[in-house]
Amino acid sequence: MASHIAGTTPYPWPWNADLSGFGTAITIVMPADVEPQLDAAELAAVHSIAASVRQAGGLVVSVTTRPPARMNDLPHKPRGVEIDSTIVDHHVEADGIDGFCGSRLEGLLRSHAVERLILVGAGLETCIHSTMRSGNDRGFECLLVIDAAAAYDPSLVAASVSMIEMSGGIFGAVGHATDVMSAYTPGKGDRA
């Protein structure tokens, strides 16, 4: 029986109560060569969510975003945290901060009949937020997993969440890693 992920705000996600793995993709969004870094807990949550969604039949896509060309002359710090490539089904390179910009992301998701995006990674208020907004504009139902997303500036987390949740979830919903893992792990959650 289909259901929702517990505790999502501002509405029960997904809206149609279809929690099947098929039609769901976890999108791990990471900037190419700049901070922020995922801490150990966030990285563990990303890997656990990806494994749960994949086991349920979902798709795992990593997306590397790159700054616009005008920013290429700015100094960049090398990325230190890497996603375990064994949990990734597809990798996409984007030509901007938004994971859909100049990339094959939309075509890849459509070819796998994806309707729902679970977003995690680094750059909460930049590349994750931009990718989530673009995904929403393209008709995907989006869920940000807040404790599996690193921010550049921790003081902007509340504002980033507020922008997603305004107007009843204009860009999607927000949830927590343990609830997502529970919903996509056989025998757990409130699914039958």
For residue 136, the 8-state DSSP code is H
What is residue 32's predicted lDDT score, i.e. its pLDDT? 86
10-15 contact pairs (CB < 8 A, 24+): 10/165, 10/168, 10/169, 10/173, 10/174, 11/168, 11/169, 11/173, 12/173, 13/141, 13/143, 13/172, 13/173, 13/175, 14/116, 14/141, 14/143, 15/141
Pick from 175, 126, 156, 164: which is nearest to 26 by CA? 175
Say yes or no to pLDDT of 83 above 80: no
What is residue 160's predicted lDDT score, i.e. its pLDDT? 95
- Model confidence at 159, pLDDT cuts 50, 70, 90, reads very high
Please provide residue 68's backbone torsions phi and psi, each rounded to the nearest 5 degrees. Answer: -55, 155
What is residue 87's predicted lDDT score, i.e. its pLDDT? 84
Give the tens place of pLDDT for each residue, 17-76.
998 899 999 999 999 876 788 999 999 999 999 999 999 999 999 999 987 765 555 555
Range in 2-6, 101-105, 111-115, 168-172 the model is least confident about: 2-6
Domain boundaries of the chain, sorted by first residue: 24-70+80-183
- Partnered with residue 91 across adjacent β-strands are 62
What is residue 108's predicted lDDT score, i.e. its pLDDT? 98
Answer for the pair 124, 155: CB distance below 8 angstroms, yes or no. no
- Model confidence at 189, pLDDT cuts 50, 70, 90, reads very low
**Which CATH architecture does the domain made up of 24-70+80-183 adopt?**
3-Layer(aba) Sandwich (3.40)
Say yes or no to pLDDT of 1 above 50: no
What is residue 190's predicted lDDT score, i.e. its pLDDT? 42
Say yes or no to pLDDT of 191 above 50: no
Give the tens place of pLDDT for each residue, 102-152.
999 999 999 999 999 999 999 999 999 999 999 999 999 999 999 999 999
Higher pLDDT, 90 or 191: 90
What is residue 187's predicted lDDT score, i.e. its pLDDT? 66
Q: Give 87-106 as a DSSP string.
A: G-SEEEE-SSSSTTTTSSHH
Burial 23-35 (b: 16+ CB within 10 A, else e): bbbbbbbbbeebe
